[in-house]
């Protein structure tokens, strides 16, 4: 069997890693028992191209170099998807895979699923069925189209199965496999724990400045922000920066891992120098996988608009303020047993929840089948697929 996995952006890399490792193990077993092997081809669209956004993850997670890199890079959504489709069509026509496997909700996911289906190639979507209900999010459009077209829908939780059923998807296309990203978290926990927090900060600080000791005892908040709704508008980003500088940084150190989009916008809105010079705010480059995991394990609180971090916070028990008005991952919310609460970008709400959440204890939760073995179930679902 020949499988092509298509990835494009940072959150894909921790999902494809365990799938590739599982195929490798499967092939080793087949050598002795059964000659059926899986040929796997990894295609990277190149949407994320910085070393820190891409190469660092391939190296840290032992992902082999992409067999094919399409070099698409930055651009509008139509440019990214359109150029990826043109290039993927050639790859799929040449390689003639039995399956194209896509992950999550990035532009590569959409481009690959549409292109494969037009060539009558089977599509498997890992992380199917998530819905925010918010069509202003590009990722929601990517999820809807990908799930509509996919032959095999592998869901991370039971809420996602319900979403798919409400859209009329038949049971025969759905398999509940769990969360593949947690495979990566479990496989890398020990290695991350060995890192030093001081060293991570020193190594990644954007501008060197003295910092008061930040130790293992949860003396810092960890923050990431990249969604257009939070970073593309001055009237949203500016009050947030003022709130962090004036009300939080004096009480608790903030380690802010700055996404390239956010760095660009902070500079455009003349906020960059203010953030850089505020004592107690430490701007760091996008972090490698193990550094982020280590900081997440020891943060007092997480502030983020990332879906993946919401999930990791749930398993690690890190109290999390999710800076969005909705989430496609309700299983991470406190009302479903998770560690996260939605705060949007309203400062009063963030302040209130921040103060209430600060004193919450860590409460790790493990949703059903978030057990580190999801990749095996993904491969078995593909191998066992019957029309
Ligand atoms: C993408 C995904 C989003 C995911 C996020 C995680 C889609 C629709 N969005 O959003 O789901 O949560 O990645 O990071 O696919 N840039 C660089 N270097 C890079 C990559 C990007 O400088 O390696 C810059 C680009 O020039 C662009 C900005 O960052 O201006 C945003 O990148 P883009 O790939 O358009 O989307 P993300 O916001 O990263």
How far away, in angstroms, is 226 Cα from ligand 1 center?
8
pLDDT tens digits, residue range 228-279? 999 999 999 999 999 999 999 988 999 999 999 999 999 999 999 999 999 9
Specify the pLDDT at position 219. Answer: 83
Q: From CA 240, how far away is CA 278, in angstroms rounded?
A: 14
Reading the block at residue 22, the tokens are 């599982």
Q: From CA 121, how far away is CA 113, in angstroms rounded?
A: 9
pLDDT tens digits, residue range 64-111? 999 999 999 999 999 999 999 999 999 999 999 999 999 999 999 999
How far away, in angstroms, is 9 Cα from ligand 1 center?
7
The torsion angles phi and psi of 88, rounded to 5 degrees, stand at: -65, -35
Q: From CA 186, how far away is CA 313, in angstroms rounded?
A: 13
How far away, in angstroms, is 75 Cα from ligand 1 center?
9
Beta bridge partners of 282: 255
In the β-sheet with 301-304, what is the strand arrangement from edge to edge? 281-284, 253-257, 220-224, 301-304, 320-322, 340-342
b vs e for 295-329, b when ≥16 Cβ sit within 10 Å of the residue's Cβ? bbbbbbbbbbbbbbbbbbbbbbbbbbbbbbeebbb
Specify the pLDDT at position 386. Answer: 84
Of 13, 55, 106, the one to substitute when testing ligand 1's pocket (max ligand atoms within 8 A of C-beta) is 106
Question: Does residue 357 surpass a pLDDT of 70?
Answer: yes
Nearest CA to ligand 1 atom 31: 261
142 Cα nearest atom in ligand 1: 8
108 Cα nearest atom in ligand 1: 15
The arithmetic mean of pLDDT across residues 191-220, rounded, is 83
Give the binding-site residues of ligand 1, using a 6 Å CB cut-off.
9-11, 47-50, 53, 74, 105-107, 138-139, 226, 259-261, 264
Of 72, 137, 259, the one to substitute when testing ligand 1's pocket (max ligand atoms within 8 A of C-beta) is 259
Cβ–Cβ < 8 Å for 301, 248: no
Nearest CA to ligand 1 atom 18: 50
Nearest CA to ligand 1 atom 19: 48
Specify the pLDDT at position 212. Answer: 66
The arithmetic mean of pLDDT across residues 133-138, rounded, is 96
The single residue of 21, 40, 226, 285 carrying the catalytic annotation is: 226
Nearest partner of 307 among 324, 283, 288, judged by Cα = 324
Percent of the chain past pLDDT 90, that is, above it, reads: 91
Q: From CA 225, how far away is CA 262, in angstroms rounded?
A: 7
Beta bridge partners of 42: 5
pTM to 2 decimal places? 0.96
How far away, in angstroms, is 228 Cα from ligand 1 center?
10
306 Cα nearest atom in ligand 1: 12
pLDDT tens digits, residue range 11-46? 999 999 999 999 999 999 877 666 689 999 999 999
Domains and CATH numbers, the chain: 2-179+370-383 (3.40.50.2000), 188-357 (3.40.50.2000)
Question: Does residue 227 surpass a pLDDT of 90?
Answer: yes
Question: Does residue 210 surpass a pLDDT of 80?
Answer: no
Cβ–Cβ < 8 Å for 313, 302: yes
**For this structure, is 226 an active site residue?**
yes
pLDDT tens digits, residue range 302-319? 999 999 999 999 999 999
Nearest CA to ligand 1 atom 16: 260
Nearest CA to ligand 1 atom 15: 106
308 Cα nearest atom in ligand 1: 12
Nearest CA to ligand 1 atom 29: 261
Cβ–Cβ < 8 Å for 4, 92: yes
Of 48, 84, 311, the one to substitute when testing ligand 1's pocket (max ligand atoms within 8 A of C-beta) is 48
Positive or negative: CA dihedral 347, 236, 362, 336: positive
The arithmetic mean of pLDDT across residues 146-167, rounded, is 98
């Amino acid at each position: 069997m020949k499988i092509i996995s298509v990835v494009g952006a940072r959150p894909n890399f921790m999902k494809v890693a365990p799938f590739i490792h599982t195929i490798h193990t499967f092939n080793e077993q087949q050598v002795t028992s059964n000659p059926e092997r899986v040929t796997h081809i990894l295609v990277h669209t190149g949407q994320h191209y910085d070393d820190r956004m891409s190469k660092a993850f391939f190296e840290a997670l032992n992902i082999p170099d992409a067999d094919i890199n399409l070099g698409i890079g930055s651009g509008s959504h139509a440019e990214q998807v359109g150029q990826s489709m043109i290039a993927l069509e050639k790859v799929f026509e040449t390689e003639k895979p039995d399956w194209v496997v896509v992950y999550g909700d990035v532009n590569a996911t959409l481009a690959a699923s549409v292109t494969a289906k037009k060539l009558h190639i089977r599509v498997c979507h890992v992380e199917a069925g998530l819905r925010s209900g918010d069509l202003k999010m590009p990722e929601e459009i990517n999820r809807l189209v990908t799930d509509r077209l996919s032959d095999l829908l592998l869901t991370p939780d039971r809420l996602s199965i319900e979403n798919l059923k409400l859209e009329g998807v038949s049971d025969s296309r759905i398999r509940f496999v769990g969360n593949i990203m947690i495979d990566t978290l479990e496989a890398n926990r020990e290695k991350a724990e060995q890192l030093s927090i001081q060293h991570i900060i020193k190594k990644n600080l954007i501008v060197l400045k003295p910092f008061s000791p930040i130790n293992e005892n949860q003396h810092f908040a960890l923050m990431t922000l990249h969604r257009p709704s939070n970073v593309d508008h001055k009237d949203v980003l500016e009050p947030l920066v003022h709130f962090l500088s004036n009300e939080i940084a004096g009480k608790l150190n903030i380690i802010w891992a700055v996404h390239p989009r956010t760095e660009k916008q902070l500079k455009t809105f003349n906020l960059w120098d203010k953030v850089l010079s505020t004592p107690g705010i430490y701007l760091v480059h996008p972090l490698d996988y193990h550094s982020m995991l280590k900081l997440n394990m020891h943060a007092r609180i997480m502030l983020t608009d990332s879906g993946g971090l919401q999930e990791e916070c749930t398993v690690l028990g890190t109290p999390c303020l999710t800076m969005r008005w909705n989430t496609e991952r309700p299983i991470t919310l406190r009302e479903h047993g998770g560690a996260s609460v939605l705060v949007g970008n309203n400062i009063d709400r963030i302040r209130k929840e921040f103060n209430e959440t600060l004193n919450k204890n860590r409460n790790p939760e493990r949703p059903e089948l978030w057990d580190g073995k999801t990749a095996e179930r993904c491969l078995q679902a593909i191998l066992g697929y019957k029309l």
